[in-house]
Amino acid sequence: MRISNDIYDVELSEYIDIDGYIYLNSRWIDIYKVVGWPEDIAKLYGIESLSSRSWLGHTRYPTNSPGRLPYYSHPFAAGDVAIVHNGDLSSYGANVNFIKYRTHVKFTGNDSEAIAYLLSFLAGELGVEEAVKELMYGRRYRWARLDGPYAVAFMVGGPRPVFGA
């Protein structure tokens, strides 16, 4: 069942003992989330039968999320951008204000999601390479700069996908 443009509530015939699951898709990227163990994701979505040139995964919730529900878990996506992240952004408040001002999106309330929206917006404005520089240095968009101890891995889908860390 479709919940919104990119979010589906997936009903599967085989029961797996998990608290929740979610599937998001864009033109180039599919996101599979579950509250459970990695093998639960593989079983629930039939990962063994899927093929991809690349996979991006993470086995935990963002540090500052309320957790428990699958939409709070990694990876996070915005459009054709998917990210996983470790660390804590001290710039989170400024980053969220910038995104809300520029894109008017709503948030679950964690810094990983903010990074996905920032990278998606900036890549659309500047291209991926310049967007990454902007996240690092904030020369054009001061409040888009990420600050704090963190590491990010990302994928930007498209006919020529871009990967980075």
Q: Give per-residue pLDDT as tens, 131-163.
A: 999 999 999 999 999 999 999 999 999 888 899
User: Residue 47 pLDDT more than 70?
Assistant: yes
Q: β-strands 30-35, 7-8: how paired?
A: unpaired
pLDDT band with cut points at 50, 70 and 90 for residue 15: very low
Radius of gyration of the chain (CA): 16
Q: β-strands 30-35, 81-87: how paired?
A: unpaired
* pLDDT for the residue numbered 163: 92
* pLDDT for the residue numbered 138: 95
CATH of 7-164, one of 3.30.410.10, 3.40.50.300, 2.60.120.380, 3.60.20.10: 3.60.20.10
Quick one: average pLDDT of 99-124? Answer: 88
* Single-letter amino acid, residue 145: R
